[in-house]
Chain A
Amino acid sequence: NAGVTQTPKFQVLKTGQSMTLQCAQDMNHEYMSWYRQDPGMGLRLIHYSVGAGITDQGEVPNGYNVSRSTTEDFPLRLLSAAPSQTSVYFCASRGSGNTQYFGPGTRLTVL
């Protein structure tokens, strides 16, 4: 099993550009989440999904969209990138008992 995979690993955007961060898991987990990690802030929840077709907002959803058309995939869209969205983004999926498994992360820089 590959677990949780994320692409790309690194990305540089200009302010105002849009892009999609990809996340996929092959563990048939129902629950998937997106976090951003910033120094001194820990991990903050952006959006999450409890199953295909169901998404909800986390702590810091503004500027981000998600969709969950399949169990495996949970892409995160930045609609109009801003320097404040410079961060490391982690996707996670959860199996039984709330244990979450994390992807390797995407390091995004917005100029």
Chain B
Amino acid sequence: AQSVSQHNHHVILSEAASLELGCNYSYGGTVNLFWYVQYPGQHLQLLLKYFSGDPLVKGIKGFEAEFIKSKFSFNLRKPSVQWSDTAEYFCAVPLGRSGNTPLVFGKGTRLSVIA
């Protein structure tokens, strides 16, 4: 089964700083990749997803992620963070190679943006 690792447990940034959150998955082949965001007290919302094609995908709120097949990575980036980006971010992949499997998630990265 697939697994996901996120490298950073807690990241603290000042407003306008650039963000990069790491995500690695366990094996290759055709893979769908997701980033979800959870704002304080809320449920998870889809930030962006990669299925195929251009490895640089753009999501909502200025976020983007790059799929690097050779590194099994799907890092999340944002050029300039805002206080409202304070949230927890989760990387996810399907549990198995079959399409009939739910997503499994990394442990999450908590982002705190300070003024």
Asked if A82 lies at the interface with its beta carbon under 8 angstroms from chain B, I say no
* B95 close to A98 (CB less than 8 A): no
* B43 close to A100 (CB less than 8 A): no
How many chain A residues have a CB neighbour from B under 8 Å? Answer: 25
A residues 14-44 with Cβ under 8 Å of B?
A: 31, 33, 35, 40-44
* A43 close to B43 (CB less than 8 A): no
Q: Please, which residues of chain A bring their CB within 8 A of the CB of B92?
A: 100
A interface, over-half SS: strand
Complex CA–CA separation, A35 to B106 (angstroms): 13
Q: Please, which residues of chain A bring their CB within 8 A of the CB of B90?
A: 42-43
B interface, over-half SS: loop
B residues 16-52 with Cβ under 8 Å of A?
A: 32, 34, 42-46, 49, 51
Complex CA–CA separation, A65 to B32 (angstroms): 29
* B104 close to A97 (CB less than 8 A): no
B residues 54-95 with Cβ under 8 Å of A?
A: 90, 92, 94-95
The residues of A with any CB-CB pair to B shorter than 8 Å are: 31, 33, 35, 40-45, 48, 50, 58-59, 90, 92, 94, 97-105
